[in-house]
């Protein structure tokens, strides 16, 4: 007899939508995921990636026993949890005693955005502090830019753009990265709003845009400065801007340092197109929704700062329907006071993790512990990351699957999926909070991250104050919300909007900068202010609806990966040919796919391909840092096709 039940939970995968989920379970096995119609953002549907998650949840490739190599280069063999945990604890104590806690690297990224993951960070703080990452490989430049400009990085309410007359999508493909914006943008457009898309990549969001502009990659700052030039020249700036903006005159001088035609030429668009953008922007209130790709370039922070400045001088800050939205604060409602914010552990910039591990001295890195992450596939310079993990005395990877990174480990510990976890989730795409509840039990032989840390805390002598169950820790994490009148019972009833979020950010035109005013950017690097001497093909690995980062379905990472280019970018090849992509870092075979809608200087690949299968675009990418925020420079690597 078939036993079918449905349970609610939420999605902590690395996505801005942080959906509410309804999970269908038959005879103890997850068979379907659907969007919760009661969630204000999800509204009953979810993305393709997560709707296919039951295949991953039930995959025969899933690990259920710890795996150990007893010597470097040897084969994995199954061991017991007791042996595995004893070994991890023994190595950690040994390395701390002999070389100091900083000889151990703890690395976690966005494999899960669950709030309980910060309790694991605290475990390493209590033990060490150990060496950690600095910066943020995904959003560091944009966060740093908005902190420099506004003193914080947050956004107005998710639905505030329904007050906008014009909505600028700066490098944002909502059909892949923010699917729940699609019906809302269509609704706004039907109600008279104009949607403007600026993106060097041609994608499906073009279908809902009134204006689409396809500029030179990395030239968004020139467009923003050109629009500012037009506003100033036509007296369309906010006459009160000097009251809440520092460096206004210097910003004006910067805008006028180039003619409108010169700013347009830098962006490789016509002056008439730039004027069209400027007149659309001036027809406000105008909301700027900023995609994450813009700041993954060498001058990514400066680019975001020009868009911030444009929003400020045009009067589009602190008003309904305005704003420059890059990020929503996802952790701010939770209480992390148990952690010592004054600690300054040794750190390695995240985009340069591999090289940083190899180069570290006094002490050298002897052990690496990785969880919630697959850095070999997801960080730049994949092979150096892999080499750094393979060459340590002891590398531990915690994952449900034998990923690229796990294959570089000495010990692999199997862990739970998000459907088996007890947690909370905030979102970087809206202000709603949700609770995760385990909807099924994990396979026999699998421990959650928190259970692993509890076991280790007992072996390492740091159990006091730490070794309690997830329910106790969740209560601690809610202390800040409890003080604001929100308790766990509210989560049990449904989804909670953060009580600390403003409906309209900066409504009083007061900013958390030292002066209380917007800190307008007023200098730009020369590379942002000139037409490149030559056109170069740039590797651009973008998110795909087929996979959440490197979490590809079984059987999909075989053979050469696709590389989408304009036909003129590969004049000696035909559509479908196997070709070689070469950069200053590496080469890889690809299958060419011609698309005349793309620019000739853009080489599109799918994000998260597996290094072991020769499909990792990140193996081609130099490990560089952005101009601020220690973000990865994913989109400025030049390539040739042969």
**Domain range for residue 84?**
67-130+351-425+432-497
571 in any annotated domain? yes
Regarding whether 397 and 265 lie in a shared domain, the answer is no
Same domain, residue pair 152 and 297: yes
- Are 386 and 258 in the same domain? no
269 by Cβ neighbours in 10 Å (0-12 / 13-18 / 19+) ranks as buried
Q: What is the pLDDT of residue 90?
A: 98
- pLDDT digits over 203-232, tens only? 999 999 999 999 999 999 999 999 999 999
Q: Are residues 324 and 458 in the same domain?
A: no
pLDDT (mean) for 329-349: 96
- 417 & 555 share domain: no
pTM: 0.97
Averaged confidence pLDDT in the chain: 97
Give phi and psi for 298, each to the nearest 5.
-55, -40
Q: pLDDT for 3-48, tens place per residue?
A: 999 999 999 999 999 999 999 999 999 999 999 999 999 999 999 9
Q: How far is CA 240 from CA 225, 231, 315, in A?
A: 19, 14, 8
Examine residue 640 and state whether it is found in any structural domain, yes or no. Answer: no
Separation of alpha carbons 282 and 279, rounded Å: 5
> What is the pLDDT at residue 117?
98
Angle subtended at Cα 136 by Cα 546 and Cα 148, rounded to the nearest 5 degrees: 125
> Is 335 inside any structural domain?
no
572-589: average pLDDT? 98
State the Cα–Cα distance between residues 474 and 470, nearest whole angstrom. Answer: 6
By 3-state DSSP, what share of the chain in percent is helix, strand and coil, each rounded to 5?
Answer: 35, 20, 45
**Domain contains 386:** yes
Query: In CATH, what number is assigned to the domain containing residue 34?
Result: 3.30.200.210
C-alpha span between 539 and 635 (Å, rounded) = 6
- The answer to the question of residue 639 being in a domain is no
**Could you tell me if 311 and 376 lie in one domain?**
no
Q: What confidence tens digit (pLDDT) does each residue in 481-515 have?
A: 999 999 999 999 999 999 999 999 999 999 999 99
Whether 1 shows a pLDDT value over 60: the answer reads: no
* DSSP-derived secondary structure for 455-505: HHHHHHT--TTT---HHHHHHHHTHHHHHTT--HHHHHHS-EE-TT--SST
Average pLDDT over residues 248-253: 98
CATH number of the domain at 251, please: 3.40.228.10
489 and 616 belong to one structural domain: no
- Determine the pLDDT at residue 73: 87
DSSP state of 547: B
* Percentage above 90 pLDDT, the chain: 99
Counting the structural domains of the chain, the total is 4
CATH number of the domain that residue 406 is part of? 3.40.50.740
Nearest to 407 by CA among 522, 307, 570, 557: 557
- Give CA–CA dist 374/402, Å, rounded: 10
Task: Indicate the pLDDT class of residue 520, thresholds 50, 70 and 90.
Answer: very high
The answer to the question of residue 507 being in a domain is no
Are 105 and 218 members of one domain?
no
Q: Is 608 within a domain?
A: yes
Q: What is the pLDDT of residue 144?
A: 98
Q: Are residues 551 and 612 in the same domain?
A: yes
Query: Do 216 and 194 share a structural domain?
Result: yes
pLDDT tens digit string along 53-64?
Answer: 999 999 999 999
Same domain? 361 vs 315: no
Query: Is 289 found in the same domain as 369?
Result: no
> pLDDT at position 571, please?
96
Dump pLDDT digits (tens) for 225-246.
Answer: 999 999 999 999 999 999 999 9
Q: Distance of CA 591 to CAs 382, 490, 610, 621, Å?
A: 20, 51, 16, 19
Tell me what pLDDT residue 626 has.
Answer: 98
pLDDT above 90 (res 2): no
71-75, 131-135, 466-470: which has the minimum mean pLDDT? 71-75
Residue 62 domain-assigned?
Answer: no
162-197 pLDDT, tens per residue? 999 999 999 999 999 999 999 999 999 999 999 999
* Coil vs helix vs strand at 158: helix
Q: Which helix (H) or strand (E) holds 81?
A: helix 81-99
């Amino acid at each position: 007899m078939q036993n079918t039940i449905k349970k609610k939970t939420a999605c902590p995968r690395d996505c801005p939508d942080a959906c509410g989920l309804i999970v269908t379970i038959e005879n103890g096995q997850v068979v379907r995921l659907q969007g919760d119609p009661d969630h204000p953002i999800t509204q009953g549907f979810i993305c393709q990636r997560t709707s296919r998650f039951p295949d991953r949840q039930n995959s025969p490739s899933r690990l259920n026993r710890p795996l150990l190599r007893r010597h470097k280069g040897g084969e994995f063999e199954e061991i017991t949890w007791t042996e595995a945990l004893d070994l991890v604890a023994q190595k950690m104590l040994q390395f701390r005693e002999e070389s100091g806690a900083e000889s151990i690297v703890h690395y976690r990224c966005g494999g899960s955005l669950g709030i309980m993951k910060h309790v694991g960070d605290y475990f390493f703080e209590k033990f060490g502090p150990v060496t950690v990452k600095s910066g943020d490989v995904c959003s560091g430049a944009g966060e740093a830019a908005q902190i420099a400009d506004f003193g914080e990085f947050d956004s107005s309410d998710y639905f505030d753009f329904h007050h906008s007359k014009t909505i600028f999508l700066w490098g944002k493909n909502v059909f892949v990265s923010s699917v729940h914006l699609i019906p809302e943008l269509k609704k706004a457009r039907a109600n008279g709003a104009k949607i403007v898309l600026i993106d060097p990549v041609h994608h499906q969001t073009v279908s809902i845009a009134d204006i689409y502009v396809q500029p030179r990659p990395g030239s968004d700052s020139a467009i923003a400065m050109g629009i500012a030039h037009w506003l100033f020249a036509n007296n369309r700036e906010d006459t009160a801007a000097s009251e809440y903006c520092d460096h206004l005159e210097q910003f004006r001088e910067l805008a006028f340092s180039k003619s409108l035609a010169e700013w347009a030429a830098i962006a490789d668009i016509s002056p008439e197109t730039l004027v069209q953008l400027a007149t659309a922007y001036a027809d406000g209130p105008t909301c700027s929704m900023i995609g994450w790709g813009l700041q993954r370039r060498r001058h990514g922070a400066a680019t975001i700062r020009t868009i911030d400045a444009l929003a400020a001088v045009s009067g589009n800050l602190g008003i309904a329907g305005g704003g420059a939205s890059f990020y929503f604060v996802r952790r701010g409602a939770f209480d992390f006071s148990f952690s010592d914010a004054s600690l300054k552990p040794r750190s390695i910039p995240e985009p340069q993790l591999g090289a940083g591990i190899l180069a570290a001295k006094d002490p050298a890195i002897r052990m690496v512990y990785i969880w919630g992450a697959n850095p070999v596939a997801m960080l730049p310079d994949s092979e150096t990351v892999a080499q750094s993990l393979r060459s340590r005395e002891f590398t531990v990877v915690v994952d449900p699957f034998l990923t690229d990174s796990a294959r570089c480990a000495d010990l692999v510990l199997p862990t739970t999926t998000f459907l088996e976890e007890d947690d909370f989730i905030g979102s970087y795409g809206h202000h709603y909070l949700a609770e995760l509840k385990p909807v099924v039990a994990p396979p026999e032989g699998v421990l959650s991250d928190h259970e692993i840390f509890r076991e280790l805390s007992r072996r390492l002598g740091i159990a006091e104050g730490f070794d309690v169950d997830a329910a106790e820790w969740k209560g601690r994490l809610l202390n800040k919300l409890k003080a604001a009148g929100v308790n766990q019972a509210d989560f049990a009833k449904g989804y909670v909007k953060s009580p600390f979020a403003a409906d309209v950010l900066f409504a009083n035109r007061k900013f958390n900068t030292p002066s209380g005013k917007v800190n307008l950017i007023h200098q730009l690097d020369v590379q942002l202010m000139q037409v490149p001497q030559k056109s170069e093909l740039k590797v651009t690995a973008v998110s795909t609806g087929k996979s959440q980062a490197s979490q590809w379905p079984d059987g999909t990472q075989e053979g050469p990966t696709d590389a989408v280019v304009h036909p003129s970018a590969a004049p000696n090849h035909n559509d479908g040919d196997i070709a070689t992509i070469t950069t200053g870092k590496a080469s890889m075979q690809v299958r060419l796919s011609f698309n005349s809608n793309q620019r000739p200087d853009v080489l599109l690949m799918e994000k998260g391909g597996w290094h072991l299968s020769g499909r990792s675009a990140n193996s081609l990418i130099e490990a560089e840092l952005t101009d601020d925020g220690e973000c990865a420079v994913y989109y400025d690597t030049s390539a040739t096709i042969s």
